[in-house]
Chain A
């Protein structure tokens, strides 16, 4: 066995083992230290394995792919499972495991108020999640990727519904699962079409343009669901019902990015389908601008960040649609760090003020200097201020759409860049500047296990942009810094946005002039209503009709038949008189009829 395969197996096996042990031994699950210890240790091992893989690759290790047969049919192998270790997957593995580790360590203190049972359950879910995510990341073909895809959906369901006694959390969990599952039908169809026409589940298969277009369009539906693109984005803001570290890991940094990751993986297939790429460009750019607009009026800090995630994922989708998978993937990586940082910092704030509402915060910079500092770092990175990681990758994304589709996507993305700086500036102003609110007055910095991960994540949030050249080499893409229209306009948008935020939101109680319209737009949430009415008005109504049909038509006919038989029985009952001579008479008549029939023939 060669070493990269072993490392891959360790990355996959460690969290699986932790999850299995926690499931099988309730003893460990119901105590705090073993549950958390086991999960964090397994993540540490997985992260170390991922780091070794990345270092080896930098040293020139080749791509490795190993598979074992999984499903047999007619004597041959129909589907395989295994590991694919190449530039894309090992980098993604490192990002996922490092962010997961930070989030889990952060959770040690953040979740301390839970009962021992819930605490253990929380960490068991985390181990299961990391296994599922790694299964997805290391998948050698679309089938295994789908398996991991569905499993992260399941863990997302479990973690959003972590506070299942709260009806809103239970509802949000089902909603997230249902919406993504609806989209996943696209993935399932894609697999079926791909296999029926090429006999393979590989993304490298030479599919005809028609097949590639059909398959990629279907795959993209699944991405729209998983990566919360318009019009299936509505589950993501509601998913904020989950614990904040979960939002950081699943619903910002990794799971929702799985859609983008799949686009990067299946890029050879998408390269054969220009029509799908055009669609992606428009959906991505549209979502980026639309979600950024909605982020501007949220009063809940987590919902601001959730819409921001939709918007940033739109950026990545647009870049890949424009043909630059590398730009999308680069932004995925930097976004994972700074968005996880923002969410965890927000978690730290929520932990201190016991509220998600921006209105309850304010003036936190004095009481929580470290949290404020790292939040500012994250916000500047997200806004794309030059010098931060977010700038480098966002610049690449914006450059990739330059001139595409009559510059409209470029304009949309620039607008979203400006809006991003504006809404992040708004959060900074409302939560950290100004006079402290009542709750904020008693806020204090959390302990080391929470601040540690924040500081750790702040490093890549600043410097990850410098890795662009290295990443490009590792992926075989070309990357060069350039000075042109896009970086200048993007920098200006970021700085102007932040400045505008201070100006617009700086005074107490100041609002965006057109906030009323936006808020109406947000509260009306017409997209959300549309899906809800699909469920209630269409699905449930049709099932009500089906029930009526079943009861009165299908069963009714059967009951009528039964009743008819009974009636016939009752009617002919008098024939059974019990008198011998009646029967003899009947036999005689019968015999005569038969004789007559026979003779007639």
Chain B
């Protein structure tokens, strides 16, 4: 079997390898914590290697979805086991793969009780996150999306700090509420998207079938010919906004967008280091990814209709999140609110509907995964030593932990988007694209740019209070600097920060085709929709392998939901 033959199995392996690891852990004796850790690290490491292979194999000039596999699953309901990646998801897969071993390493000494269960949870989350990113079937996507929830709930609720129960419950209820609403929308898309008999949960199929209806609807909203709307377009006209909002609600909670963000600081503060890294590093991106993959491309007309709302919320999030950071006394809470601010930039980039902004947003997703993952990871090292999150309990730490301080400073510069670090590339592209989006009020990018000064204010103020000044507490005097394991973890982050900041082109090249298609598809809902070529907003859907050839279907009109 050569490499080419292995390719169809690659994504399956990426998703299920952590699960296999979790299965293996079940057979390990409970008291062998070291073995449990080592095997988890190995599984995560191999998963990272596989993700890297997928990333390298991915051809930026190739088809829209690559490494695809589509198998029959539940033919009568139109559900298939369909995996595939485009430029954005393969990048996020790599990010998720990278954070896997980091998470294990960062909690090496931190977790003492129920070590086995902890690591099983980590592997389950890893599998679910990978699955969410590569699923091209809505049911499969939903299953993985929900599957992230339970191990994460356990991670916060079992291994968290003092007020972990409330935090876990809040996280769970918020997210569950959103995803249940999304489930209704998924079913609705299923029923309207295709005529009875040909119904499918397949992403590509629905994506293609909604194309002409969206076109007609866009023409209608611009006052050209509403008379010729197809039944599907009529349905979309009536129900599209609701369906868009249902998807958007689920993803907006996950991002989180203001005012649905209040679960985030609590979850971060209470979660163990590993939980915070996963949450900030990958899980929040599931929200932005959802907007990018589902909410906007499926309902571009509705998305355009609600665009002012989301752009406004994104900008409010940027400024509000940053202001909240300035008022925090707790390091983890500060980093959590900075996530609200940074993801506001991602959302602004997504809703600007220009290529620069969208690629900047995609880049910012990766950046935020790296830099906020790094901030939580690094602070975790400090927390392990001092067991306090209060900024005022520190001071002068740079004196006793110089390497740690240097690493933290590098990540801080990434977080405040200093050129040369990854943060600058993403933020700059988003601002550039938003400035270029002539249909947006100029005040939005102007307000968004204040993130530069606000970010510098809260991060440097925190750094000043934690690292600089004299050591006025004896507990801080005896802190030891990072050991080898911690140092290597920190160095991995720093290498990524600088690499992505200095040579962004290879990363952006992979994102570019996905960006162009996303923007073209989003343009479908705007007054520019006539300029969009069909070829740019269609995807090729592979046939189901191993399924009997489909019977010719009698033409049946699409179900028109009552209006």
Please list the residues of chain A having a beta carbon within 8 angstroms of any beta carbon in chain B.
Answer: 26, 69-75, 78, 117, 121, 146-147, 150-151, 154, 157, 161, 164-167, 169-171, 173-174, 177-178, 181-182, 184-185, 188-189, 191-193, 195-196, 535, 539-540, 542-544, 546-547, 550, 554-555, 557-558, 562
Contact = CB atoms under 8 A, between A and B. Distances in A.
Q: Is the interface of B mostly helix, strand, loop or mixed?
A: helix
B413 A154 contact: yes
B420 A147 contact: yes
Contacts of B320: 546, 550
Nearest to A168: B469
Contacts of B431: 188, 192
B418 A165 contact: no
A74 B512 contact: yes
B535 to A, nearest CB: 16
B97 interface: no
Interface in B351-400: 355-356, 359, 396, 398-399
B324 interface: yes
Interface stretch (B49-57, B74-82, B454-462): B454-462
B173 A151 contact: no
Given A75-B512, A167-B470, A189-B449, 8 more contacts: A117-B402, A154-B413, A164-B467, A165-B468, A174-B460, A178-B456, A540-B327, A547-B327
Interface stretch (B136-144, B197-205, B208-216, B501-509): B501-509
A185 B449 CA distance: 7
Nearest to B405: A164
Contact of A547 (B324, B469, B470): B324
A538 to B, nearest CB: 11
A150 B423 CA distance: 13
B505 A71 contact: yes
Interface in B161-213: 170, 173-174
A212 to B, nearest CB: 17
B26 interface: no
A71 B429 contact: yes
Contacts of A193: 435
B230 interface: no
B324 A558 contact: no
Nearest to B359: A73
B173 A69 contact: no
Contact of B324 (A161, A189, A539, A543): A543
Contact of B419 (A78, A150, A164, A547): A150
Interface residues of B, number: 58
B111 interface: no
B432 A195 contact: yes
17 contacts: A72-B508, A74-B516, A75-B512, A146-B419, A147-B424, A150-B424, A165-B468, A170-B468, A173-B464, A178-B460, A188-B431, A189-B449, A540-B327, A546-B320, A550-B324, A554-B258, A557-B259
B464 A181 contact: no
B343 to A, nearest CB: 16
Given A151-B418, A151-B420, A543-B326, A177 B460 contact: yes
Given A71-B508, A167-B469, A182 B453 contact: yes
A540 B326 CA distance: 7
A172 to B, nearest CB: 11
A277 B381 CA distance: 52
B464 A195 contact: no
Contacts of A191: 432
B436 interface: yes
A562 B327 CA distance: 26
B33 to A, nearest CB: 31
B445 interface: yes
B149 interface: no
Contact of B469 (A165, A544, A546): A165
Most buried by A among B418, B449, B509: B418
Contacts of A167: 468-470
Contacts of A557: 259
B452 A185 contact: yes
Nearest to B438: A196
A189 B325 CA distance: 24
A14 to B, nearest CB: 17
A72 B355 CA distance: 10
B341 to A, nearest CB: 12
A121 B323 CA distance: 34
B258 A562 contact: no
Given A546-B320, A547-B327, A69 B505 contact: yes
